[in-house]
Amino acid sequence: MRKLLLLFGALAAAGALHAQPYPNKPVKVIVPWPPGQATDLAARIVAEKLSTQLGQSFVIENKPGAGGAIGTEAAVKSAPDGYTLLAASSGPISIMPNLQKTPYEPLSDLAPISLTNAVPFALVVHPSFPATNAREFIAVVRANPGKYTFSSSGTGATAHLFAELFNSMAKLSAVHVPYKGTAPAMTDLIGGQISYSVETVAATVGHIKSGRLKAFGVTSARRTAAVPDLPPLAEAADIPGYDCVAWGGYAAPAGTPREILLRLAAEIQKAVQAADLKERFATLGMDTASSTPEEMGAFMRREQERYGTIIRNAGIKIEK
């Protein structure tokens, strides 16, 4: 009888533990990039807030490689129980599936939770470029088709696609020069070997403030807290509808219970409204964002379609 009572007691305790509100144990957040990268930094900052708000640790696990595909695949193959999440971002989710075969289908293998951040880019030139604003810049480049060059951190990279869309909407013909990373691209732009670039505010703001680069506007539809004096290019360059930001957010494996997705989305919305988080994001060249799971899902569909259109129109192909 005593053994039977102990068994019933153990079962009752297990049932009570299972019935506890989510989360009742640490949550793993897979970041498919190395430590220190933008997605990693944003995910860590939000995870800190979630840990405090929910009383459980949100532990970052970096799984870099293959442009974010390795970590993303690991996340989508995890148990859909809310205890493994993905730090999702535009590269492996919106861009890569349009350029090559991926071991996951973002729109069906992931359950969106919420956006967390937006990463605006800026149009920058060497200080000697013969223009003082975005409209003059467009006039100069348009009048000299094929003369000017623009850099990016690599063929098919976000910076490349944003620049291609800008060139298309502004009716510019320029030569793309891809680099293996943002740093060497910025070095040659500062050195005068490249005419212009559309790069992250985070990568350019220090050079803008020091005078090593001249900026004509940001790619987002609204001004960004990181460089509030820079106008949106849609307005400054007179190209209505130009609105491009890299994005970050949280997602889970498909099949994760809806109540968990909604709980996390509400907590993320609360987290990104905090003044200290907004300030930390601004110092990193980011703006805060949030959404419902449905809003993030619709956003992901639009982004994948838009990048696909840019890639097809520009004839972009990556080397095998």
The domain that contains 167 carries what CATH number? 3.40.190.10
Answer yes or no: is 198 within a domain.
yes
Q: How confident is the model at residue 192 (pLDDT cuts 50, 70, 90)?
A: very high
- Give yes or no: residues 112 and 207 share one domain: no
Q: How confident is the model at residue 260 (pLDDT cuts 50, 70, 90)?
A: very high
Answer yes or no: is 206 within a domain.
yes
Closest CA to 30 of 9, 5, 7, 60: 60
Among 170, 201, 236, where does a domain finish?
236
What separation in angstroms does the CA of 193 have from each of 148, 187, 203?
Answer: 10, 9, 18
Answer yes or no: is 154 within a domain.
yes
198 has which bridge partners?
Answer: 123
Answer yes or no: is 292 within a domain.
yes
What separation in angstroms does the CA of 223 have from each of 210, 227, 245, 252?
Answer: 20, 8, 12, 31
- Give yes or no: residues 74 and 91 share one domain: yes
- Give yes or no: residues 113 and 177 share one domain: no
pLDDT per residue over 14-32, tens digit each?
A: 444 456 799 999 999 999 9
- Give yes or no: residues 208 and 284 share one domain: no
The tally of CA atoms less than 13 A away on the side-chain side of residue 115 is 21
Query: What mean pLDDT is predicted for residues 268-297?
Result: 96
Domain holding 194, by residue range, is 120-236
Among 201, 236, 271, where does a domain finish?
236
Answer yes or no: is 319 within a domain.
no
Among 209, 236, 263, where does a domain finish?
236
152 has which bridge partners?
Answer: 178
Percent of the chain with pLDDT over 70: 93
pTM recorded for the entire structure: 0.88
- Count the domains in the chain: 2
The tally of CA atoms less than 13 A away on the side-chain side of residue 179 is 19
Written as six digits, the tokens of 241 are 């509808």
Answer yes or no: is 181 within a domain.
yes
pLDDT value, residue 226: 87
- Give yes or no: residues 35 and 70 share one domain: yes
Query: What mean pLDDT is predicted for residues 126-155?
Result: 97
- Give yes or no: residues 103 and 126 share one domain: no
